Structure 1
């Protein structure tokens, strides 16, 4: 087993290695382009009546879509930054740094945030990467990494080992009066 420091990784958080969410940026930019085209179309004097009303509704929808995607990108970036910083303080981060797994951790962060926003496919990817990065007890064991329990060495939360009769001695009979 490879012992990891119980206190976690020390040092500065690595720089975020990924680009913005390219698919979401493209959707936002497409909505902006559509809004620009519709604004130009609305300047045409021949556009009147129902066609004008329909174009105005499409313009409003495109602007709304672009604004929503802007807010989603902003929220995603903020959430990714928070999780990224948090992960690099974990004991496992010592091994990630040693193995130069920065991009894999960043991919986990990207998928995890998308999963938390309700994307089922992203949830599957995040779970798979969590297993590879040692982010759950079973994967820690599979990777043969262990985080020593500081309390086992006589720290403030250490317990004396139980003897077979201890559990029975703590039990008491409860009468009809409660």
Structure 2
């Protein structure tokens, strides 16, 4: 566990670290390619679902680069166990630790000095605005101006 707040990529002090190559921008579309081979003993269906979902995340680019398939598999197995209704508290705490160390939490992203690139959005066609409804006449519109000097 580290002490102090996580680094802030927008702060001036962190900007100095960023100049040294400290921050890494991950692709918003996630990691392309095939899944790594499951490194543990026989996986459950839930573990394989988590394994598939995890390797599609932007952070998976870094896990692959750093050879963290075993850590990701252990996280998937621990998370599947923590999801059970009778899960022990220490298992749930382990999940929190994995979230941080694998960069799956905001604090973990900051500690690993990772940020996700903005997603490229497809242009959205905006329908043309409908004509404004006709304005109802107000009480003021019904008043008639009578020039002075004219009268009954």
Q: Quick check: 1:108–1:129 contact (8 Å CA) kept in 2? A: yes
Report what 2:91 is aligned to: 122
Greater percentage in helix: 1
Aligned residue runs from structure 1 range 1-178, under 5 A: 1-20=23-42, 77-118=44-85, 119=87, 120-150=89-119, 156=123
Report the TM-score when normalising by structure 1: 0.53
- Helix, strand or coil at the partner of 1:150: coil
Shift of 1:137: 1.3
- For structure 2, the residue ranges without an aligned partner over 5 or more in a row are 1-22, 125-152
Query: 1-side partners of 2:66 and 2:119: how far apart?
Result: 25
Shift of 1:108: 0.4
- Helix, strand or coil at the partner of 2:36: coil
Shift of 1:4: 0.4
**Larger Rg over CA atoms:** 2
Query: 2-side partners of 1:143 and 1:155: how far apart?
Result: 30
Report what 1:174 is aligned to: none
- Helix, strand or coil at the partner of 2:44: helix
Q: CA RMSD in A?
A: 1.8
Q: Quick check: 2:29–2:119 contact (8 Å CA) kept in 1? A: no
Q: Quick check: 2:24–2:115 contact (8 Å CA) kept in 1? A: yes
Query: 2-side partners of 1:133 and 1:102: how far apart?
Result: 11
Aligned residues, how many? 100
